[in-house]
Structure 1
C-alpha cells in the first residue's frame, strides 16, 4: 500500500495551515454528523480510487475522545484497542517530503497511517490547546482510531470498493457499513483544522 501512504501524506499537505489552531468547543450534533460524514466520504473515495475492497465506515466514539484528551505529548501511545494518529503542521509535513520516498512512507505511516486502515471502525479527534513540538515539527491534532493497533499491508484487500466486507457488515456505496446501522456521534471537541483537512480531501478528489 505504498501509494496509499503517499496519497494520505499528499492530502495532509494540502490542509495544514501555519496559523495556530483554535479549538472549537460546544460543537452541535449537526457539526459532529457533518465531520463524521466527511471522514467517511474520504475513506470511500480512497477505497474507490485505490481499489480497497474492505474499507469500513467509521463511527465517532466518545470514549476514544476522552482517551485522546487525556494523553500528553509524553504519554501519547497506542493502546490495546486503538492507534494514535497525529497531524503535524506545514513545517513538519514539508520536512517529511524532503526525505527519500521510503522514509516518507514510513514517517507518514507512523504519524497518520491508522486513519487509513480498512478494518478500523471508530475514531475521535481533538485539537491540542498546547501543541506537541519536536524536531519533526508541531503536532496540532491528535486522533484515536481503532480497534486495529498495527498498520499491516495484508489488511488491505484488493477489489471493487465494498466487495469484501466482513460478515457483520454490508456494502454501502463503497464502504462496509455495520448491519445494525449504529452510529456514535458523541463528543465535545472537534477542531477547525480537522474540517479543513477533510474539505481539502474532498476538493482534491473531485
Structure 2
C-alpha cells in the first residue's frame, strides 16, 4: 500500500498490484503507476509519498539518557562493532532511549549487549508500554554479543524504544547495562 497526501485535500491510498510497480516523477506533479496491464497517470495538486521502513538498527552511541548520568561509550574489542554504551551512574532505574519510525507490522526486536559481573536486569519499553522484561545480564566472566529477542506489533509512524535497569542479580555488584545496538525486522522477510 502506498499512501499519498494531497496538499489541498484528503489522504488517499492505492494498492500496488503484485505484478505492478509504482514510479514517482520527481517534479511532484505526476504519479505514474502500473495496474498490471497498462500505465496510468495521477495528475493532481502537490502530493508526497511516504515510505516507512520495515527494518532498522539503532546504535548505542545514538541513544539519549532518560534517567541516570554519565552516558558513556567505550571500546570493547570482543563486542561486534568494537564498543558498547552504558550509564555511568550504575543505578537502579537508569534508562536511555532511541527514536525510530517504522511501518505498521509485527517485528522481531534484537538487543545486543555484553554480560559481566557488575550488570543489572533490564526491561524494554516501546512508547512507554512494557514489551519485554527481566533480562538478567549478569555473568561471572565477560560474555560479548549476547542477543535478546522479542516480538512486538507496532502501528505505523514514530516510536521510542527505551531500556530501564530494573534490579540486579544477587551476585552482581551493580546495575550496569552494556548495550551496542537494537534492531528490528519482520519475522519473515
| Structure number, greater radius of gyration | 2
Fold agreement, TM-score > 0.5: no
TM (norm. structure 1) is: 0.23
* Larger proportion of strand: 2
- Higher relative contact order (Cα pairs below 8 Å, separated by 6+ residues): 1
TM (norm. structure 2) is 0.24
Q: Which has the higher helix share?
A: 1
